[in-house]
Each structure stands twice: as structure tokens, then as C-alpha cells.
Amino acid sequence: MTQINLTSLQTLLPDAKFHNSETIKNVNFTGLTSLTLAGPTDISFVASKTFVNEAKASKASLLVVSEETAESLSDKAILVVPKVELATAKIIRIFFPEKQPSGKRSAQVAIDPSAKIGSNTDIGHFVTIGKDSIIGNDCIIEDGVKIGDRVQIGDGARIGKNCVFFDDTIVGKRFIVFGNSTFGGDGFGFVFAEGKHNKIPQVGRVVIGDDVEVGSNCTIDRGALTDTTIGNGCKFDNMVHIAHNCKVGNHVIIAGQSGLAGSVTLGNNVIIGGACAISDHLTLVDGTIIAGGSSLRTSPKTKDVYVGWDLGLTFPEFQKYRVNIKNIVNLNKWLKRIENIEKKVGIEAKES
């Protein structure tokens, strides 16, 4: 079992400030967990003021807190940090270190002789790698992964089980993907003629930047003529679909079950909530936020939070819209009551 002490934490988080740590200077911490589950050898964290009362009752020996909550917990042993979530992520990695490659290669693989595999890269069972493909150093390619011809995958990649990389796909460094995702399949392009749907060849590529993470069951389609591109630092949840010719900027977040139709352009630092649908050929400027469950058929003109169904409204505008709808419903009720009163008192309503 991994254990850490205060000295280890000070080395790990040099910018942190310890308060009331004298009482725990000899404690060997055995884990980081929630406030309610924590025991005497555990570290826990306080994400916001909402959890202060839980923190006061917690049995955790040490609490990771922000400046905002530190004063409310002055009688506890606390570790004050600029960003609680980031600090806890670093501590968790001490107790649960990432799997590291060892250069192990299964005997049940099919690798073309022209492919180049970097040093210290693991290759699991039943992996296939096509001709002229290049896999970087220190990668982990899990069981069942299929890599086509002329594919490039950068150093430090973690490729989950049964993922597929079609020909000519290019992936940057430190790429992470979980199981059953597909990159570089044909985009959805057809022309109806002569009584049938005729396929339009998709001859572009998928090009993915550095430090990108993709969940399970995602698809990123190759471009029709130009490439589909994903910028550095993007993070996609499970079941995200990126259609052909999309241009996704840097550090974009897309939550689960959301999809971009063809030729969408996303600026840097865009956030798209879960279950969103973005129509084709739209552009979202840097920093745009699309709330979960929204659909978009027009390009937002400015950076803002947008919400709704094909309305293109900012969040405040959508709130007004909802109020107006409610008022219209109530108005109809009042009109009916007025009509009933007029009938009772013998007033004859005249239509204008």
C-alpha cells in the first residue's frame, strides 16, 4: 500500500500552505477520498463553501482547501492551494499511479515489416499495424487495436482496446483514447442521382494535435477533400461524433452524446455540453459555450453562453424566452376567465 507524509506533500505541492499541521506530522497518509468516507489516515478535499459543514464533521486527518474556505476550517489541519481540483488530482496520482509501458509485445500481433515501432512501447494481443505506419516511444497499444497504413501516432500515447485508426490518420503526442473509438473513417457524403445515393469519395485525413483525450465509442471522420483537424489539448467525452471537414481549435471540451455535423469550425476554448447537435458549416468563436441539450442551426455572432433548441439565444435571452412563454400561457387562461365573466354579466364581446 502506498503511503505519503507531509514532507512528500510539500515536495509535490511546493506552493501550498499548511495550517495546524503539527498534529499530523507523524501521520502516514494511505489515501484520498470523500469527506464522508475519510478515516484518520486519509486526506480529503473541500471543493467549495457548500461542503464546509461536511468538512467540519469529517474524520480526515488533512483537508485540501482553497483560500475561500480556509478561514471557515481554521481549527482543522488544512492544506491551502490555489486550485483544489488540480492539487487533489496530483495527490490521487501518488496513490494510483498511471500504468507505465515496459516494451512488452504480444506474440499474437500482425505488424507490417515497413512499420516503425518506438522504444519501450507495449503492444497487446491481436493488434494489427499497417505498412509505413509510425508508432512513437513509450506508448501503450491495448488488445485488439487496428492501425491502418501510413498512420502516425506520437510519443506517450495510450490507445484503448479495439480502437481503429484508418489509413493516413495522424495523432500527436500524449494522446489518450478509451475503448472502441474510430478515427479516419469515411465522412457521410452522398449525392442523389440516377435514382440512388451515390457515394462521394472521402480522401482527406484526420489530424489530431498533442495532449488530446477521447472517450469510448467516439468517431472522428476523415475529410472529404480537406483534413478534419483537432487542436491541442482537446477533451472529448464518450460517444462524441466529429463529422468530415470539421476544424476544432485548441482546448475544446465536448461532453457526451454531442455531435458536430460536417464542416463545423470551433474556435479555441469552446465548451459544448452533453447531448448537443451542431449543424453543418457553422462557426463558433473562441470561448463560446453551448449548454447541454441544445441544438444550433445558426452561427453565434459573439462569445457567450447559448442554450435552447434552434433559437440561437444566449442564456439570459433564453430565460426571458421561457418567462414570456409562461406569460403567454397564463394570458390565455386570463382571457378565458374574462370571457366567462363577460358572459355572466351580459357583456357581448365584439371581435375587432
Q: What is the CA radius of gyration of the chain?
A: 28
pTM above 0.75, yes or no: yes
Average pLDDT, the chain: 94
**Interval 29-82: pLDDT, tens:** 999 999 999 999 999 999 999 999 999 999 999 999 999 999 999 999 999 999
351, three cell numbers: 371581435
Query: Does the active-site annotation cover 244?
Result: yes
Q: What's the CATH code, domain 6-95?
A: 3.40.1390.10
Which of the following is catalytic: 125, 244, 251, 281? 244
**Interval 213-266: pLDDT, tens:** 999 999 999 999 999 999 999 999 999 999 999 999 999 999 999 999 999 999
What is the structure's pLDDT at 343? 83
150, three cell numbers: 501510413
Q: Percent of the chain at pLDDT above 70?
A: 97
What is the structure's pLDDT at 8? 93
| pLDDT surpassing 70 at residue 101 | yes
Q: What angle do CA 253, 256, 259 make, to 5 degrees?
A: 80
Cα distance between residue 177 and residue 163, in whole Å: 8
91, three cell numbers: 495527490
**Interval 320-340: pLDDT, tens:** 877 887 787 788 788 888 888
**CATH 4.10.490.10 for the 166-311 domain, yes or no:** no
Q: How far is CA 294 from CA 276, 306, 307, 331, in A?
A: 5, 8, 5, 28
As a whole number, mean pLDDT of residues 84-93 equals 96
DSSP per position, 206-229: EEE-SS-EE-SS-EEEPPSSSPEE
352, three cell numbers: 375587432
